[in-house]
Amino acid sequence: MIELSSLTFSYHRRKPLFQNLSLSLQPGSIYGLLGKNGAGKSSLLRLISGLLYPTGGTVHVAGQEPRKREPRFLQNLYFVPEEIHLPPVTISRYIGTMALFYPHFSESQFRQYLTEFEVPQDQKLTAMSYGQKKKVMISFALAANTQVLIMDEPTNGLDIPSKSQFRKVVSATLEPDRLMLISTHQVRDLDNLIDAVIIIDDNEVLLNHSLNTIADRLLFGTVADITEAQGVLYAEPSLRGYTVVAENSEQAESKVDLERLFNATTANRERVKTLFR
């Protein structure tokens, strides 16, 4: 569905943000994109969406080249940016203007999502709070029913109940032929939502695997004494000793902790890449 091959990109002759980066993403999954500030998460999403152009290599989305911005590409991909700017119109007027660009848009789904998010539907968009505007954009994106849905920091501006509702609504819209890619700094917001993780750091993809594969190869747990733990990749003090990420040599079951997975991966780049090679 999304194929990046030997991708290179830089801003204004600066040091390349990406160099020979390759990535393959398949439909039927919700991917979480993690990386440090400045790692290029937003730029990567914009390259996939056709809002930035690679300086080398190729990007293909469902067989199309995003940089060409052809109608058949644009009607099958929806991108929710981190910063949103909505016009001073009502929701009905917004639907009448924007829905035409998306052949599979469903107004009934859109209004259902707005109801679930408790967004008032009788106000102008500019009269809404930032959190309500974000919910409008997320609801419209889901109701567009595009093959590819990309969201950059979608939970920024949402309160705790809304974040829970976000996970519920998004997970219910995944279909076998649909791909969702979500970038966030708030890794806890992706708990119980994503089924695959991409970690980028220092111009390269360090990890791109399903949570099931990660749980097979890494163990997330707590130990009383760090010296007794085997194959530890990452550890931090806790009330009960140490929380650790370790090699899962015994194939024990554990739940993937996204925050500690990120820390373990960036702290032990080559070791993690070897484990998942």
What pLDDT band is residue 16 in, cutting at 50, 70 and 90? Answer: confident
Partner residues linked to 60 by β-bridges = 3
Q: What is the pTM of this model?
A: 0.94
Structure tokens at 190: 């992706």
Structure tokens at 121: 């539907």
Residue 14 has pLDDT above 90, yes or no: no
3-state helix, strand, coil in the chain (%, to 5): 35, 30, 35
Beta strands (DSSP E) in the chain are 2-9, 18-25, 29-34, 56-61, 77-80, 148-152, 179-183, 196-201, 204-210, 218-223, 232-238, 241-247
The tens digit of pLDDT for each residue in 79-124 reads 999 999 999 999 999 999 999 999 999 999 999 999 999 999 999 9
Residue 39 has pLDDT above 80, yes or no: yes
pLDDT of residue 99: 97
- The Cα 190–Cα 200 span in angstroms is 17
Residue 253 has pLDDT above 80, yes or no: yes
What pLDDT band is residue 153 in, cutting at 50, 70 and 90? Answer: very high
**From edge to edge, which strands make up the β-sheet containing 56-61?**
18-25, 2-9, 56-61
pLDDT of residue 103: 97
Q: DSSP letter at 14?
A: S
Average pLDDT, the chain: 93
pLDDT of residue 174: 93
Question: Domains of the chain, with CATH numbers?
Answer: 2-202 (3.40.50.300), 211-275 (no CATH)
What pLDDT band is residue 37 in, cutting at 50, 70 and 90? Answer: confident
Q: Residue range 246-273: average pLDDT?
A: 93
pLDDT of residue 224: 87
CA-based torsion, 262, 268, 269, 273: positive or negative: negative
Residue 231 phi/psi, 5-degree rounding, is: 60, 40
Residue 246 has pLDDT above 80, yes or no: yes
Cα–Cα nearest to 155, from 194, 207, 127 = 194
